[in-house]
Structure 1
Amino acid sequence: MSLWARAQQLPPESLQKVRTIYGDHFPIEVRHCLAPWIESRIWTAEPEDQQRFFVDELVQEIQAHADLMLSPDMFVTKMKLLDAAKNFHMQYSHAPHELYAYMRRSLALEMDVIQNAMGTPYVAQPQTERKYSELITGLQTVRQKVSMVGEEIRSLQANIESFSLQYHECLKNKGHMNYLQQSMTNERRDLVACLRVQIEETERKLNALVAQISQSQMELVDHMKENIANLRQLQSQVLDEELIKWKREQQLSGNGVPMQSNLNTIQEWCELLADLIWTTRQQVNNVARINTKTIVELRQPHLAEMLDEMSKQVTGLLSTLVTSTFVIEKQPPQVMKTNTRFTATVRLLVGGQLNVYMTPPRVNVVIISEQQAQLLLKSETQAGKGKQPVECGDILNNSGSMEYQPTSRQLSVSFRNMQLRKIKRAEKKGTESVMDEKLTLLFQSQFNVGGGELVFQVWTLSLPVVVIVHGNQEPHGWATVTWDNAFSPPGRVPFAVPDKVTWGQLAETLRIKFCSATGGDLSEDNLRFLAEKIFRTSLPLNNIELNAMPVSWTQFCKDALPERNFTFWEWFYMVVKVTRDYLRTLWCDHLIMGFIQKKQAEEMLSKCPAGTFLLRFSDSELGGITIAWVGEGNEVFSLQPFTSRDLMLRSLADRVLDLTQLQFLYPNIAKDDVFSKYYTKPENEMLKNGYVKPVLVTTLPPYMSSSPAYAHSPDSHRNTPSVQSSYFSAATPAQTDSFMDSELFEQIRAFEPDGMDEFDIYSNMSMK
């Protein structure tokens, strides 16, 4: 992503700092319109002798960009660019190195603002910036050639009109001469001789003009063919490379990969293409019109056929551009629950340039199966209209009109209240489940271009979605989506994905998924632990060999782990979820070891003094985190895992504080030195209603602690070989003798987390 694209994504307060960098010496309009050229040209310092042409080149770039701004709403920006070019030439033509240095300093300040706002260093991508600069240069070159063709057409038309006038004048003189020759006199003989000289001179000029017109026509055809070929190549670069790249990044962003491409930049390129293609189409049609009105003597053989073929080609380019730039800017949720509101946004990148908004198009949305999507693409490739796809569900609020925003030049429609009411499932094969079934949303519309001269039927498909009816189906639904997002091949048949990938590919996907959800990365040791869990066997020490090992879809989310009733993905998904919701700060602060086997943790702790502990994710409890610590006599114990329900009642840091047996975080860090900033501050005053608010305190059973107070485990049904913890109910500020009875706690645990706000966990506590 370019530096300027990053700047445009900053929060308002940081964006305002960027704006203050630019003023009269370096207008922000120049920074915006010439962003790729500026960054590619001055990103790395040039020797001063290479900077002497910098001002002239900058002025040329500004003027070239200004020439491309033809729409009325770009008039003000165009004037500002031209004024800036004039000022640059007047102030810096004698000292180009000063302007070069000033612009470099401005970019450095801009980079500082971005890094401070995002907290990560910006790494330039000179190859990408150079590629973008070459694309802009190519568009500008074609623009100049299209303008030259326009001049050639005007010159051709003027020559044809001149020929027509002289030709008719010659015919008139011939007629007059024939009339005079019918009754010759001496006076008429002189007049006939004079007319004959004029006719011969005119015919000589006409013959020369015919040759010139013929040559101009063929050169004009060649130039238009060249422009069409260049436009085809540039359009392929924009649509088949940059837009496809953006769509792929959009899909990967569903797994947490940051997007690098900018859709607004792609829209600018598409608008330039649309303007050039439409102008070229008008030029071809104009030449064809001129040819039909030209006298037969001037018509070139096969010219009409060539013009007709070029018209078809350029119209085909326009059709491809319009249909390809109908994109889903904001995808619907890929795991979609029935009877739940969801949103989506579609956008036509060339809608403003081609004035499609003059007749606001409507967009309709339906949900179709994978098979219907395949049939739709098949009918498209066979150039047949085909049948309307069969819907497999009922969506409410699935129609809307596209609206044009003049400031952003965006023609789009946002569906804010769609809801899938019901779904019709396809027949399942073998071990397939409903969460394996991939569907897609089909967005359809019709666009009128050129005042109804051209009508385009357009459609686009969303990324695959998995429809669920209950929350417990969500993990497997995300398994299907994650695998599809990560490993879908380019140009695939919907929605084919490989059944096997390498561990290196899957490990990177899991790492990104975990990092995007929790803000913390996975180390090589963490990934090796995950590899051991999914392969269920000993692994090679060499990472190259490990990364090349194949992993199947079945291993990923179908086969249960040894001696467990859940799969690898279910275990990993719940670890990500509990870390994201309750352990994010502790993980990012490297206080949780997390991915380590119980046996390995015991071996590590057995060599440490009593009171040393570590935090790891449970192998037996989904979404559970346990505390392993060294007791008296160097015996290692593991506390029964805490899950989301437990951590919702009391944070993990507070539980570490509660347990006095825990003294040192492995290997030998005093727990208060690292956990104290996460402790909940005690209440120092009564509640406004006059009551004293109790708190929950984690304790160990009597045989593990000298404390006489003991309550049963909050989850006595758990069957894990771990020490059970219990809760005290302690009043603030003074400690009380009472604690929460187990019956009340079971009532609390019976509630789902979403419903806890409606349940007063203190209402039944007795205060003594």
Structure 2
Amino acid sequence: MALWASVQQLKGEAMSTVQSVYGSHFPIEVRHFFAQWMEQQPWNEVDEDNSEHEQRAIGLRDMLIQLMEEKATELSTIEDMFLTRLKLQETTQQFKIMYGNHPMNLVRVVKNCLATETRMIQQTEQQSGDKQGANMHASIMQQFEFLFGKTQETENELRQSQHKQESFVIQYQESFRIEAQLNQLTKVEGPIEAKQRLQQEKEAIAAKLSGAARELLFDRVSLLQKFKENCNNLRALQSHILDDQLIFWKRQQQLAGNGAPFEASLETLQQWCEKLAELVWRNYQQLGQMNQLFTHLPIDLPPEQKDVLPFLTESIYKLLETLITSTFVIEKQPTQVLKKDSRFTATARSLIGSRLNLHMTLPQVTATIVSEEQARAILNNDKNARRLTSGNILNNKGTMEYHQASGQLSITFRNLVLKTIRRAEKKGNETVTEEKFSILFQTVLTINSDLVYDAWTLSLPVVVIVHGNQNCNAQATILWDNQFADGGRLPFQVADKVTWQQLSQALNTPFTAECSMGLSRDNLLYLASKIFNTADDYSNHLVSWTQFNREPLPGRSFTFWEWFHSIQKLTKDWLQGPWKDRLILGFINKQVAEQWLMQSRLGTFMLRFSDSELGGISISLVNEDRNQPCGRAVTHLTPFKDSDLRIRGLGDRVNDLMQLVFLYPDIPKERAFQKYCTAASENPSYDSGYVKPDLTTTIPGLSKPAPHAIYDDPSSIPCGSFQANSPAPSDMNQMTSPQPQMKQELMSPGPPSNFNLMDDASDLIEFNMLDYNSEDIAEINVNELLSLNPQGLDFPRTDL
């Protein structure tokens, strides 16, 4: 019922679209009354075009009609539901008429309704997500506007308080002067009038000072309260930007290491951080000024009022420190599989940009490599740990540059080279490709030539290798860590077991990024069966790191990841086009491939990734074999690997093999692979004095199918049963071949239309070719041949 509850929240065009799929054939009231039941039924498991599923459709129809009848009976006891009951009874009778003999139509209608609802909800959620992002930015900007207003307000009040305090000091000094004069007159017994006048002035000034003091005290209490509110609001906004938005960006950056889409731009974050820096700094300065006013003119606060100025000053300083140090980030991560003595790059950046005069003293940045243990100590604020390294990196120091046009303050290390590495002691059966390091970037940032902060940031985990053959296993470590790392973890802890659903997403992400198209549900089911070696519902099964890339697959010398990675690399390097065009079935085992092909026409083939070898793609085809009871057999060609496809591409190899006629289930190979074939050169080059020969793929001992074999009818061959899970189209069994007499007509003169039955023009050409040259005719003695058996000749008599 969750789907229907979401539907009821739709508005506008989305709701109109949903309403449009309901009508007299299926009233929306039925959907409403039986929402929970409808959403619990396996409608998608019923194929309305498959007659074998009709009984399931009948069961669903009968159950719905029964529920409608029971509901109508229930409503008969409720007076206010009289019209609804009549409508429901009428609909029940209509359903019996419309779907009594056509239960599949009911399935089709319900599936369409549910699919439309789902689509509209997804579109609405996507639009809501886009709006949510825009609304979030607008909300943050509104908070900035509010805080800038409040900061300006405290600045104005602070200035007024300063003026009042200066006036108070002047008046206080005036009172001292009058007091001194009054004392002088008292000593010399001056005129009484003068004493009285001075006494009056003294009392008047004292009254003014008393009022001014109360006003100053009130202003101070009021300002402290406003600064407290500003600090709280700044802390909340800064936490949202740094702990939510910036951490989210870093998480997306980490997933991008596995190939996930990533919006790498930091411009919006820098805009927010710059505004934060300006606000925090202004409040920091104002609190400093207020502290000076308190120091120059101490006034005791009321007993119930706590002096929070020291606390606020410390809080705003910590906000400033956190902002400065947390916005020193790695914009472009170093490669996570780091080969010793190979060059790599990285970019570090401060999101404060030009604010606080940070660019006036350009910071120096140093990059070092640290172990997992050292990284943990650094996160625990062990300053000594930042002096330790686990290797030597060349060209690891540089000065940040300020780009005035963009306002960016950053440094790009373009020629970093890891020369040496010191590894830690092995943990149990951990291999060197499971050991993680990190690149530590450190700098000193000076704010307004006054405050100095040590800033540092750690890269994503890197695995150090010394040879290319370690790359595959290192990639496994990085993939697992990037995908399954929890936020706020200690370096570089990661779960040892994850669900298959989580792992399948981790596998699909890089495959999609590198091979132009991701893995289908069937592909993932096949991969699950391979890693678990059982047929089951795998969604909640746990996969351990050991299963993933430590223990070899059953009966193999390689792990699951090594096998999968080799396929991904082969597809990326040589098979992207055919894979994207769905010409490669790929993830299917040999036995299932044989079952499907044995139900297909001779010459049908499919492309599958090798189970037994790393990084290979094999061609499986069904061909004629008179030694088999069925007269046919499936042949599996030796897998083509990187070295083979480097010499000659897959399209050309498929084109070379005349035994290959139809790409499974029934696509002519010329149509499927035409754009992946290399055009033959009509004008060979003689520049070097040589003509380059063409390499052609052949299958020794396997002849090309004859025309009659191509049109052989697989349904007439008792070779097992058709597999229901075959991806062949539903009309495959209707594709019958010509009968034997039709084949005879192809060899006799007849209407031109008969020649349309030929499958390929090349077959017709080969049929009409004679296997001798014209100059050989003179050597043939026909009379001698006729004289060998004259009695066997019985010619009709011809009268001229």
**Equivalent residue, structure 2, for 1:552:** 544
Contact 1:246–1:262 under 8 Å retained in 2:
no
Q: CA deviation at 1:387?
A: 4.2
Q: CA deviation at 1:313?
A: 1.3
**Equivalent residue, structure 1, for 2:91:** none
Q: CA deviation at 1:430?
A: 2.9
Q: CA deviation at 1:201?
A: 2.6
Q: Does 1:459 align with 2:463?
A: no
In structure 2, which of residues 430, 436, 439 is the aligned counterpart of residue 438 of structure 1? 436
Q: Structure 2 vs 1, CA of residues 569 and 297 (structure 1 numbering), >3 Å: closer, same or farther? A: closer
Structure 1: unaligned runs, 5 residues or longer: 1-43, 46-120, 541-545, 708-768
Q: CA deviation at 1:346?
A: 0.6
Q: CA deviation at 1:184?
A: 5.8
Q: CA deviation at 1:235?
A: 0.8
Q: How does 1:257-272 map to 2 (within 5 A)?
A: 257-260=260-263, 262-272=265-275
In structure 2, which of residues 215, 218, 226 is the aligned counterpart of residue 223 of structure 1? 226
Contact 1:653–1:675 under 8 Å retained in 2:
yes
Letter in 1 for 2:698: T
**Equivalent residue, structure 1, for 2:98:** none
Letter in 2 for 1:556: F
Q: Does 1:519 align with 2:516?
A: yes
Q: Secondary structure at the match of 2:418?
A: strand
Q: Does 1:158 align with 2:156?
A: no
Q: Structure 2 vs 1, CA of residues 641 and 387 (structure 1 numbering), >3 Å: closer, same or farther? A: closer
**Equivalent residue, structure 2, for 1:477:** 474
**Equivalent residue, structure 1, for 2:343:** 341
Q: Does 1:660 align with 2:658?
A: yes
TM-score by length of 2: 0.69
Q: CA deviation at 1:191?
A: 3.8
Q: CA deviation at 1:303?
A: 9.5
**Equivalent residue, structure 1, for 2:753:** none
Q: Secondary structure at the match of 2:696?
A: strand
Q: Secondary structure at the match of 1:480?
A: helix
Contact 1:369–1:438 under 8 Å retained in 2:
yes
Q: CA deviation at 1:428?
A: 1.5
Q: How does 1:665-684 map to 2 (within 5 A)?
A: 665-684=663-682
Contact 1:376–1:389 under 8 Å retained in 2:
no
Q: Secondary structure at the match of 2:585?
A: coil
**Equivalent residue, structure 1, for 2:131:** 126
Q: Structure 2 vs 1, CA of residues 123 and 469 (structure 1 numbering), >3 Å: closer, same or farther? A: farther
**Equivalent residue, structure 2, for 1:606:** 598
**Equivalent residue, structure 1, for 2:701:** 702
Letter in 1 for 2:430: E
Q: Secondary structure at the match of 1:354?
A: helix
Contact 1:404–1:412 under 8 Å retained in 2:
yes
Q: How does 1:404-415 map to 2 (within 5 A)?
A: 404-415=402-413
Q: CA deviation at 1:572?
A: 0.4
Paired with 2:670 and 2:134, the residues of 1 have a C-alpha distance of 49
Contact 2:602–2:705 under 8 Å retained in 1:
no
Contact 2:270–2:353 under 8 Å retained in 1:
no
Q: Secondary structure at the match of 1:563?
A: coil
Contact 2:433–2:464 under 8 Å retained in 1:
yes
In structure 1, which of residues 189, 195, 200 is the aligned counterpart of residue 198 of structure 2? 195
In structure 1, which of residues 466, 490, 493 is the aligned counterpart of residue 490 of structure 2? 493
Paired with 1:577 and 1:228, the residues of 2 have a C-alpha distance of 53
**Equivalent residue, structure 1, for 2:310:** 308
Q: CA deviation at 1:297?
A: 5.6
Q: CA deviation at 1:698?
A: 0.6
Contact 2:603–2:705 under 8 Å retained in 1:
no
Paired with 1:237 and 1:652, the residues of 2 have a C-alpha distance of 52
Paired with 2:618 and 2:130, the residues of 1 have a C-alpha distance of 44
Paired with 1:616 and 1:703, the residues of 2 have a C-alpha distance of 20
Q: Does 1:208 align with 2:211?
A: yes
Letter in 2 for 1:430: G
**Equivalent residue, structure 2, for 1:648:** 646
Letter in 2 for 1:518: C
Paired with 1:703 and 1:594, the residues of 2 have a C-alpha distance of 24
Q: CA deviation at 1:560?
A: 0.7
Q: Does 1:287 align with 2:290?
A: yes
Q: Does 1:532 align with 2:532?
A: no
1:482-507 CA deviation, whole Å, 9 max, x = no partner? 00000011111110011000000000
In structure 2, which of residues 607, 616, 622 is the aligned counterpart of residue 615 of structure 1? 607
Paired with 1:173 and 1:261, the residues of 2 have a C-alpha distance of 71
**Equivalent residue, structure 1, for 2:49:** none
Q: Secondary structure at the match of 2:606?
A: strand
Paired with 1:429 and 1:153, the residues of 2 have a C-alpha distance of 61
Q: CA deviation at 1:140?
A: 1.6
Q: CA deviation at 1:181?
A: 4.5
Contact 2:369–2:392 under 8 Å retained in 1:
yes
Q: Secondary structure at the match of 1:151?
A: helix
Letter in 2 for 1:227: N
Q: CA deviation at 1:198?
A: 3.1
Farther-moved stretch of structure 1 (674-683 vs 153-162): 674-683
**Equivalent residue, structure 1, for 2:767:** none
**Equivalent residue, structure 1, for 2:364:** 362
Contact 2:659–2:703 under 8 Å retained in 1:
no
Paired with 1:301 and 1:356, the residues of 2 have a C-alpha distance of 42
**Equivalent residue, structure 2, for 1:30:** none
Structure ID, larger Rg: 2
Q: How does 1:721-732 map to 2 (within 5 A)?
A: none
**Equivalent residue, structure 2, for 1:246:** 249
Q: Secondary structure at the match of 2:599?
A: coil
Letter in 1 for 2:181: H
Letter in 1 for 2:159: R
Q: Structure 2 vs 1, CA of residues 253 and 387 (structure 1 numbering), >3 Å: closer, same or farther? A: closer
Paired with 2:127 and 2:678, the residues of 1 have a C-alpha distance of 36
Q: Structure 2 vs 1, CA of residues 355 and 135 (structure 1 numbering), >3 Å: closer, same or farther? A: same
Letter in 1 for 2:254: Q
In structure 2, which of residues 502, 515, 536 is the aligned counterpart of residue 505 of structure 1? 502
Q: Structure 2 vs 1, CA of residues 387 and 625 (structure 1 numbering), >3 Å: closer, same or farther? A: closer
Paired with 1:189 and 1:422, the residues of 2 have a C-alpha distance of 96
Contact 2:217–2:299 under 8 Å retained in 1:
no
1:237-268 CA deviation, whole Å, 9 max, x = no partner? 11111111111111100001111464211111
Give the length in aligned residue pairs. 576
Paired with 1:510 and 1:471, the residues of 2 have a C-alpha distance of 22
Q: Structure 2 vs 1, CA of residues 172 and 703 (structure 1 numbering), >3 Å: closer, same or farther? A: closer
Paired with 2:222 and 2:590, the residues of 1 have a C-alpha distance of 80
Q: CA deviation at 1:389?
A: 4.5
**Equivalent residue, structure 2, for 1:176:** 181
Farther-moved stretch of structure 1 (587-596 vs 195-204): 195-204
Paired with 1:163 and 1:245, the residues of 2 have a C-alpha distance of 52
Contact 2:658–2:704 under 8 Å retained in 1:
no
Paired with 1:581 and 1:302, the residues of 2 have a C-alpha distance of 75
Paired with 2:386 and 2:300, the residues of 1 have a C-alpha distance of 50
TM-score by length of 1: 0.72
Paired with 2:417 and 2:467, the residues of 1 have a C-alpha distance of 15
Contact 1:486–1:509 under 8 Å retained in 2:
yes
Q: Give RMSD over aligned pairs.
A: 2.2
Q: Does 1:392 align with 2:390?
A: yes
Paired with 1:418 and 1:304, the residues of 2 have a C-alpha distance of 55
Q: CA deviation at 1:362?
A: 1.1
Paired with 1:267 and 1:404, the residues of 2 have a C-alpha distance of 14
Contact 1:351–1:411 under 8 Å retained in 2:
yes
Letter in 1 for 2:371: S
Q: CA deviation at 1:357?
A: 2.1
Paired with 1:354 and 1:178, the residues of 2 have a C-alpha distance of 54
Letter in 2 for 1:166: Q
